Amino acid sequence: MKSENFQLQNYNTFGLQAQALVFFSYSSHEDLCSFLKNDFRRDLPFFILGGGSNILFTRNYPGTIIHPETKGISIVKEDSDTVFVNVAAGEIWDDFVKWAVEHNFYGAENLSFIPGCIGASPVQNIGAYGVEAKDIIHEVHCLSIANQTERMFSNAECKFGYRDSIFKHEEAGKYIVLDVTFKLQKHASFNLRYGSLQSVIDESTATLQTVRDAIIAIRKDKLPDPKEIGSAGSFFKNPVIPKAQADALKEQYPTMVTYPVGDEHTKIAAGWLIDSLGFKGFQIGGAKVHPKQALVLTNAGDAEGSDVVKLAEEIQRKVFETYGIAIVPEVIYL
Ligand SMILES: Cc1cc2nc3c(=O)[nH]c(=O)nc-3n(C[C@H](O)[C@H](O)[C@H](O)COP(=O)(O)OP(=O)(O)OC[C@H]3O[C@@H](n4cnc5c(N)ncnc54)[C@H](O)[C@@H]3O)c2cc1C
């Protein structure tokens, strides 16, 4: 389906109003190829939009939004230990996790309840509770936007990093993810080492469903439901700084939350930095820092994208002024 001057309010979890000059959604690869060959305006910018859960529309989008709505989850290969599951880009991420849990396949459960679609999962290398998409992605099947040839990226070729992949660097803007093949385990293997999980789940009695339920409960308690309060989840990335700088800061601010990254670097909890400056509940225009979780910026009702930008800039400025640390948005500005 192709529309012009299309309202995107229901296509971004901030719930911000913005129009796309052209909006194209498709549910078959044939429709996508035909659009790219015959109808695609190469003189305009374009953007592949999944669930819009990591996007900040700062203005009307002056180009083409391409939105996959392809569906399908199928087992493509299995042996006694592992199963390979292919999932179409337009599937909702959490529907896949639910499916895996119901089929007794291990590996995706810690990523329960992350909003968004399958197509974004390798781009973002989504992560939560000690697991990242990279831990279960086998390969990523893509279509070249330039010439509609197909290309398979192995896990290694995706060059995954923290919320990062090749699709944000060398291959940015070149491919549409068509589907992703995940490698899951048939035998129980949980990853329950992550902080708050340990205290609520007993590994000796854990099942896939109890782990999923516990994670959903923790997430519901901590994060606003985008259906009720607009947000894009964690707004900023956790900064990684040299260990020496972190050690000095930790001496000055002993409650600062830090995680070692190798021998020479330290990750700092961006939420701690923001919270420590008293930002919880702070508001600029219609944009507000979530009172329960300082890392989440929300739409308090009638926010414009520019309100969120101003709020983010104020937080970045104060964090840098106080701690000498530059925090950068995880959310993509459009
Ligand atoms: C309440 C809340 C909680 C969240 N919690 C987490 C969390 O715990 N961990 C985490 O990692 N993230 C989290 N997020 C962020 C978000 O859910 C993820 O980044 C998610 O992967 C975005 O998926 P999406 O389909 O909405 O992608 P979008 O926001 O629409 O797009 C994200 C990026 O993926 C690209 N993209 C999307 N689909 C395709 C495709 N088919 N082909 C090529 N590129 C594509 C886009 O171009 C863009 O660059 C949270 C967000 C919210 C609102």
- Do 194 and 94 share a structural domain? yes
Look at residues 205, 222, 239 and tell me which one is the last residue of a structural domain.
222
Q: Is the pLDDT reported for residue 193 higher than 90? A: no
Q: Give the CATH number, domain containing residue 265.
A: 3.90.78.10
* Strands 46-48 and 61-68, bridge-based pairing: parallel
Indicate whether 202 and 97 sit together in one domain: yes
Residue nearest to atom 8 of ligand 1 (CA): 128
Question: What is the distance in A from the centroid of ligand 1 to the CA of 252?
Answer: 36
Q: Tell me, yes or no, whether 96 and 216 share the same domain.
A: yes
Give the residue among 117, 113, 112, 111 at the shortest CA–CA distance from 131: 111
- Ligand 1 centre from 116 Cα, in Å? 5
Q: Are 19 and 82 in the same domain? A: no
Q: Nearest to residue 292, comparing CAs of 212, 229, 216, 198?
A: 229
The confidence score (pLDDT) of residue 142 equals 98
Picking from 191, 222, 253, the residue at the C-terminal end of a domain is: 222
240 and 322 belong to one structural domain: yes
Q: Check residue 197 and give its pLDDT.
A: 84
Structural domain ending residue among the three candidates 169, 190, 222: 222
Residue 202 pLDDT level (bands cut at 50, 70, 90): confident
Same domain? 31 vs 146: no
pLDDT confidence band for 153 (50 / 70 / 90)? very high
Both tokens assigned to 186: 């048939």
Site to substitute for ligand 1 among 54, 113, 168, 218, most atoms within 8 A of C-beta: 54
Report which protein residue has its CA nearest ligand 1's atom 4. Answer: 233
Catalytic option among 25, 139, 234, 304: 234
CATH number of domain containing 163? 3.30.465.10
**Statement to judge: residues 199 and 307 lie in one domain:** no
Active-site annotation holder among 109, 112, 132, 163: 163
Q: Inform me whether the pLDDT recorded for 195 exceeds 80.
A: no
Q: How far is the CA of 119 from the centre of ligand 1 (A)?
A: 9
State the burial class of residue 76 (Cβ atoms within 10 Å of its Cβ: 0-12, 13-18, 19+).
exposed
Known catalytic membership, residue 199: no
234 is catalytic: yes
| pLDDT for the residue 236 | 97
Unique residue bearing structure tokens 């995680």: 259
Residues 218 and 79 in one domain: yes
Q: Which domain holds residue 156?
A: 73-222
Mean pLDDT to the nearest integer, 168-183: 96
Per-residue pLDDT reduced to its tens digit, 249-277: 999 999 999 999 999 999 999 999 999 99
154 belongs to the catalytic site: no
Q: Whose CA is nearest to atom 34 of ligand 1?
A: 120
Task: Please state whether beta strands 61-68 and 19-26 pair in parallel, antiparallel, or not at all (unpaired).
Answer: parallel
- What distance in angstroms lies between residue 54's CA and the mean position of ligand 1's atoms? 5
Cα–Cα distance measured from residue 140 to residue 255, given in angstroms and rounded to the nearest whole number: 41
**Proportion of the chain above pLDDT 70, given as a percent:** 100
Residue-averaged pLDDT of the chain: 95
Q: Based on the fold, state whether residues 48 and 104 are members of the same structural domain.
A: no
**pTM, whole model, 2 decimals?**
0.93
Q: Do 26 and 82 belong to one domain? A: no
Domain count, the chain: 3
| 283 and 214 co-located in one domain | no
Are 6 and 82 in a shared domain? no
Q: What is the CATH number of the domain that holds 62?
A: 3.30.43.10
What is the pLDDT at residue 162? 86
Residue 293 pLDDT > 80: yes
